[in-house]
Structure 1
Amino acid sequence: MKKGIHPDYKEITVVMSDGTEVQTRSTMDTKDGVYRSEVDSKNHPFYTKSNTFTSTAGRVDRFKRRYGKGDDK
């Protein structure tokens, strides 16, 4: 490998949303060596088959269509 062109590759701890911890190596710049994940396979709607985000987005679009909010006419 060429010297001076690659980012630092160091060990970090990834803390999942449910509290589980995984040791891995990364080029991610963390101040304390810990990355705290807000979304992972335990709570993401794609994995949990929950449509909370898509149904909320549908309600917002329906509101905008019904009341014409957000259109600059």
Structure 2
Amino acid sequence: MTKIAIIGLGYVGMPLAAAFSSKFQVFGFDLNRTRINELKSGFDRTLELDENAMKKVLYSGMSFSSELDSIKEANFFIVWAK
């Protein structure tokens, strides 16, 4: 099974993670714990994903974390950083 870690969940990383989550298991990683908690609750402050899109992402099983151990099972790593 393909498992993808998206590192950096901002304006580019979050929509990319959402797109991959429709076909693959995705681990979303960001150092900003506030951002992670918001995403876990279904809120995207960047407004790249609306409420319905966030529900789909959460329903797909995408996980969000700021802990490095959470992405160790990934086969592929996509890093997006400014």
- Normalised to the residue count of structure 2, the TM-score between the two structures is 0.20
- Normalised to the residue count of structure 1, the TM-score between the two structures is 0.22
Bigger Rg over Cα? 1
Select the structure that is richer in helix: 2
Choose between structure 1 and 2 for higher RCO, CA contacts under 8 A separated by at least 6 residues: 2
